C-alpha cells in the first residue's frame, strides 16, 4: 500500500472517530437525566446496606423517594435517628421523632420447654426443616425450629440461637426485616424496642393441646387481657395478642401470665 493510501485510510478512521465522539457527546447532553443534588447528598448519608427495611428496593430508591418528598427523612431503620437528622438538614425539614424498632421472636419454646417430635438429619436450614413431616421436628408445629436461618441473614449479628430458639438482641437489631422474611414459620415481627410488652408464642391450639407439646406456650387463659387497663391485650384464636399502639408497657400482663411468656 502506498503512503498516500495509508494517509487516506488514517484520515478516514480518524474522521469517523471524531464524528462518533461528537455524536455521542451531543446525544449524551440531549438525553442526560438531571440528578437532584439533594438526592445524591441523601444517598451519601444512607448506610448502603440495601436491606429493604425502609420499604424500598434499596438505598438508591430510598434516596430518590426522600428527595421527591415521597418518603420520610427518618425512614432508614439502619441509620436510625442520627442519619435521619442529617438527612433532614439536607432536605431543610424537621426530622421528627424516630421510634426505635426491633425484631421479636414470638416463641419461647426452648429445648427444655418444647421437645422434639423426631430426630432430623439434613441441611441446617429452617426452610428445609419446615418441609419435613408436621412442618418440622418440633412437637409444637408453630414453634421456632432453631436451625438459624434468621441468624444467617442478619448482617448485624443481632440474632442468635439460644437453647434451641432464636433470640434477638434489641440493642444490635436495626429492624431491617430480613429475619422476618427468612423465617418459614412467620414467627418474627418488628415491634417498638421500648415501652411495650410482647407475647413470645404463636400457637393457636387450645390450652390443653399446647401443654402437651410446650411448657411455655400461651394457653389462652385470658388473665393478661383481664388485667390490661388500656385494652391493648386481646385473646384471639386461643392466643394472646398485644396492640402496640395501645400498650403502655405497664407490665401487668407480664406479672399475671401463668406461663411467663410475656416480656
Q: What does the pLDDT read at residue 99?
A: 87
Q: Write out pLDDT tens, residues 19-53.
A: 676 766 666 565 555 567 889 999 999 998 888 88
Grade residue 96 by pLDDT with cuts at 50, 70 and 90: confident
Same domain, 200 and 263: yes
In a domain, 42, yes or no: yes
The answer on pLDDT for 5 being more than 80 is no
Q: What does the pLDDT read at residue 9?
A: 61
Same domain, 261 and 201: yes
Give 153's contacts (C-beta < 8 A, 6+ positions apart): 178, 179, 181, 182
Q: How many independent structural domains does the chain possess?
A: 3
Q: Write out pLDDT tens, residues 162-208.
A: 999 999 999 999 999 999 999 999 999 999 999 999 999 999 999 99
The answer on pLDDT for 223 being more than 80 is yes
133: cell is 413431616
Specify the CATH number for the domain of residue 70.
1.10.15.40
Same domain, 207 and 183: no
Same domain, 202 and 253: yes
8 A C-beta contact, residue 145 and residue 138: yes
pTM of the predicted model as reported, rounded to 2 decimal places: 0.80
In a domain, 27, yes or no: no
Domain boundary among 136, 164, 194: 194
* Nearest Cα residue to 144 out of 178, 187, 200, 189: 187
Same domain, 159 and 190: yes
8 A C-beta contact, residue 74 and residue 60: no
Percent of the chain at pLDDT above 70?
88
Specify the CATH number for the domain of residue 124.
3.30.70.20
Domain that holds residue 86: 37-91
Same domain, 54 and 140: no
Same domain, 141 and 105: yes
Same domain, 85 and 110: no
Domain boundary among 194, 214, 240: 194
Amino acid at each position: 500500500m502506498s503512503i498516500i493510501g495509508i494517509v487516506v485510510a488514517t484520515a478516514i478512521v480518524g474522521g469517523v472517530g471524531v464524528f462518533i465522539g461528537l455524536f455521542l457527546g451531543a446525544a449524551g447532553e440531549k438525553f442526560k437525566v438531571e440528578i437532584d443534588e439533594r438526592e445524591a447528598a441523601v444517598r451519601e448519608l444512607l448506610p448502603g446496606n440495601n436491606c429493604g427495611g425502609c420499604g424500598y428496593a434499596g438505598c438508591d430508591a430510598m434516596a430518590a423517594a426522600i428527595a421527591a418528598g415521597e418518603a420520610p427523612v427518618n425512614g432508614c431503620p439502619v441509620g436510625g435517628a442520627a442519619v435521619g437528622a442529617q438527612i433532614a438538614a439536607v432536605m431543610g425539614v424537621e426530622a421528627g421523632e424516630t421510634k426505635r424498632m426491633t425484631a421479636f421472636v414470638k416463641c419461647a419454646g426452648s429445648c427444655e420447654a418444647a421437645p422434639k417430635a423426631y430426630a432430623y438429619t439434613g441441611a441446617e436450614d429452617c426452610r428445609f426443616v419446615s418441609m419435613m413431616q408436621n412442618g418440622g421436628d418440633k412437637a409444637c408445629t408453630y414453634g421456632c425450629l432453631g436451625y438459624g436461618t434468621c441468624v444467617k441473614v442478619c448482617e448485624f449479628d443481632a440474632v442468635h440461637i439460644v437453647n434451641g430458639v432464636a433470640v434477638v438482641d434489641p440493642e444490635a437489631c436495626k429492624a431491617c426485616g430480613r429475619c422476618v422474611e427468612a423465617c418459614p414459620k412467620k414467627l418474627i415481627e418488628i415491634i417498638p424496642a421500648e415501652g411495650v410488652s410482647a407475647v413470645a408464642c404463636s400457637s393457636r391450639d387450645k390450652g390443653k393441646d399446647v401443654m402437651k407439646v410446650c411448657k411455655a406456650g400461651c394457653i389462652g387463659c385470658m388473665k393478661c387481657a383481664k388485667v390490661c387497663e388500656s385494652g391493648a391485650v386481646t385473646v384471639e384464636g386461643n392466643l394472646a395478642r398485644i396492640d402496640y399502639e395501645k400498650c403502655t408497657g405497664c407490665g401487668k400482663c407480664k406479672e399475671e401470665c401463668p406461663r411467663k411468656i410475656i416480656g
